[in-house]
Amino acid sequence: MNIQINQLGYTPGMKKTAVMHGKLSDTLQVLDAQGCIVLTLPVSASRTDIWGDQVAEADFSALTIPGTYTLRCGKEASWPFPISEAPYQSCLTALVDMFYYQRCGGEVDARAGVFAHPACHTGPARIYGTEDFMEVDGGWHDAGDFGRYIVPAAKAVADLLLAWQWNAGAFAAPNLTPILEEARWELEWMLKMQREDGAVYHKVSCARFCGMIMPHEEKEELIISPVSTTATGDFAACMAMASRFYAAQDAAFAQRMLEAARRAWDFLQQSEPILFRNPEGISTGGYGDRSDADERLWAHVELAVTCGDEMYLRAARDAILQQDRSRVSLGWGDVSGYAALEGLMLPGDLASLCRQWILDGADAALSRINPYGITMTERLPWGSNMNISNDGMVFYQAWLLTGCEAYRLAAEKQLHYLLGVNPVDYCYVSCFGSNPMLHPHHRPSVAQGVCQPGMLSGGAASGMMDACAREHLQGQPAAKAFIDMHASYSTNEICVYWNSPMVALLAGLSK
């Protein structure tokens, strides 16, 4: 289609903008389900977008009556879409259920249909380079592979907790498991990954990625990779944060997490950076990093917020003052943005610094927004849809702080992009929308020959980082470098920490 809309539709009161390739006509017509024209609206002058295409826009916010509609402009039409009070609720439910489907170390029951499976990856795992074994059952499979990694786990859990904080009411729908219970599944596993001295092992996986099989069919030896200070910092932050969320319902669990966070923090104080690289013989996800300063910063802030001790406050203050506060990063590699968001709960002057940090970051991002509403143009990284959801979270937080409409609209634009207003015309959430992503790099989906619903694709990636992308996407502009084929792991994998920021964004915007 040459007219891009959010394929899941809009609420009556939302601002609604269609994006068109080329100026198809001077007017846009809105047709109801019977094909009758209900509105005729002007189309903007077309402008050259970042990839040399002509792009025009039309605002159809005047459409406010619930129903199913299509847009027409010249000879082109959009997908049909609804106007309704809660157009994203079923998508949000599915995005949360995805975490249940990703469960490791426990049965995924019949509610998951063909994706049900007995407990997988159980039994002792060997600590790399030793003949020592540890039991580290549980957690979620990271992505289309079955590794379990601490660094991305911390991001995913933090996002789910923020989603809950922003709008607990959005999770009243009957999910496969309630969101806090699901986050706990991961937290319990993370706790097992801590060494006695407080350090945290980076990951547990087999030595290499397996074939396209179901999780319980992977029977290779499980190996626990060495500790890193990025994993330890993320762990300390995430545990200190989570302990606040569970204090009311399970004080003992909250206490266990806080003690684990303190021990991880203590380890960091006496340790040089230990930056992870896959050791000899291990080739699963690396989640390597050039710096652990941001993980340490986040840990200081969460412990300061949760405990209020002078020792943590001092560390948080020093780290915030040293931090470049011009952008708010919520990536797995640079987690400093979580310090900004959570730092809003620090005492007065530090909270003000964090508030300004968020607004500066949001303003810088706003100034980069392109015709599709996203901030990236020439280069889209592996997992760009995470960056887009992360931007949405930052805009949403800026809106919470100021009530300024421009931030809210920018947050909504990130959602619209993910759900259809993008140059490839896909709804990037599997099995949702009129033109859904259906062939993810996701072992259970490939093994069963059917797509698991509710997974956000990594999305366009300009680097041509797999053979399938090189074969089909060479020369495409950045945001068109996407192919819905399972072989393209760099453009069409799925991940827990790509779903999680979308859960937070959607929960927030559903309020």
Window 261 to 320, contacts with ligand 9MR (CB under 6 A)? 285-286
Site string for ligand 9MR, 369-408 (x = CB under 6 A): -------------xx-------------------------
Answer yes or no whether residue 121 interacts with Zn ion by CB under 5 A.
yes
Q: Which does 104 bind (CB under 5 to 8 A by kind): Zn ion, ligand 9MR, none?
A: Zn ion
Answer yes or no whether residue 145 interacts with ligand 9MR by CB under 6 A.
yes
**Spatial distance between the Cα atoms of 266 and 263, rounded to a whole number of angstroms:** 5
Query: Smallest distance from the beta carbon of 457 to Zn ion, in angstroms?
Result: 22
**Spatial distance between the Cα atoms of 38 and 122, rounded to a whole number of angstroms:** 59
Q: Which does 142 bind (CB under 5 to 8 A by kind): Zn ion, ligand 9MR, none?
A: ligand 9MR
Token code pair at residue 193: 């990954």
For the stretch 274-278, contacts whose Cβ atoms lie closer than 8 Å and that sit 24 or more positions apart, written own/partner, are 274/226, 274/227, 274/228, 274/229, 275/228, 275/229, 275/230, 276/202, 276/225, 276/226, 276/228, 276/230, 276/231, 278/225
Query: Smallest distance from the beta carbon of 495 to ligand 9MR, in angstroms?
Result: 5
Q: Segment near ligand 9MR (CB under 6 A), from 76-84, 142-150, 363-371, 410-418?
A: 142-150
Kindly list the distances between the CA atom of residue 258 and the CA atoms of 59, 81, 168, 198, 341, in Å, as whole numbers in the listed order: 49, 46, 23, 12, 20
Contact (Cβ atoms closer than 8 angstroms) between residue 95 and residue 499? yes
Contact (Cβ atoms closer than 8 angstroms) between residue 416 and residue 403? no
Query: Smallest distance from the beta carbon of 216 to Zn ion, in angstroms?
Result: 7
Q: Which does 493 bind (CB under 5 to 8 A by kind): ligand 9MR, Zn ion, none?
A: ligand 9MR
Query: Smallest distance from the beta carbon of 494 to ligand 9MR, in angstroms?
Result: 8
Answer yes or no whether residue 180 interacts with Zn ion by CB under 5 A.
no
Answer yes or no whether residue 120 interacts with Zn ion by CB under 5 A.
yes
Query: Smallest distance from the beta carbon of 349 to ligand 9MR, in angstroms?
Result: 35
Radius of gyration (Cα) for the chain, nearest Å?
Answer: 23
Contact (Cβ atoms closer than 8 angstroms) between residue 225 and residue 287? no
Q: Which is nearer to ligand 9MR, 143 or 183 (CB)?
A: 143
Q: Segment near ligand 9MR (CB under 6 A), from 81-89, 105-113, 423-431, 488-496?
A: 488-496
Site string for ligand 9MR, 146-175 (x = CB under 6 A): -x----------------------------
Window 52 to 111, contacts with Zn ion (CB under 5 A)? 104
CA torsion sign, 374 to 377 to 383 to 387? negative
Binding residue (CB under 6 A) for ligand 9MR from 493, 496, 503, 508: 493
**Spatial distance between the Cα atoms of 194 and 197, rounded to a whole number of angstroms:** 8
Q: What backbone torsions phi and psi does residue 429 show, to the nearest 5 degrees?
A: -95, 125
**Which residue minimizes CB distance to Zn ion?**
104
Q: Which is nearer to ligand 9MR, 215 or 383 (CB)?
A: 383
**Spatial distance between the Cα atoms of 401 and 46, rounded to a whole number of angstroms:** 34
Torsional class of 293: left (φ above 0), alpha (ψ -120 to 50), beta (otherwise)? alpha
Q: Got the DSSP string for 11-40?
A: -TTS--EEEEES---SEEEEE-TTS-EEEE
Answer yes or no whether residue 453 interacts with ligand 9MR by CB under 6 A.
no
3-state helix, strand, coil in the chain (%, to 5): 40, 15, 45
Q: Which is nearer to Zn ion, 121 or 184 (CB)?
A: 121
Q: What angle do CA 419, 423, 427 make, to 5 degrees?
A: 20
**Spatial distance between the Cα atoms of 287 and 275, rounded to a whole number of angstroms:** 10
Q: Which does 382 bind (CB under 5 to 8 A by kind): Zn ion, ligand 9MR, none?
A: ligand 9MR
Answer yes or no whether residue 142 interacts with ligand 9MR by CB under 6 A.
yes
Q: Which is nearer to ligand 9MR, 91 or 143 (CB)?
A: 143
Q: Which is nearer to ligand 9MR, 72 or 486 (CB)?
A: 486
Q: Segment near Zn ion (CB under 5 A), from 3-11, 36-44, 121-129, 497-505?
A: 121-129
E-assigned strand segments in 262-419? none
Answer yes or no whether residue 215 interacts with Zn ion by CB under 5 A.
yes
Q: Which residues bind ligand 9MR (CB under 6 A)?
A: 142-143, 145, 147, 285-286, 382-383, 489, 493, 495
Q: Which residues bind to Zn ion, rule: CB under 5 A?
A: 104, 120-121, 215
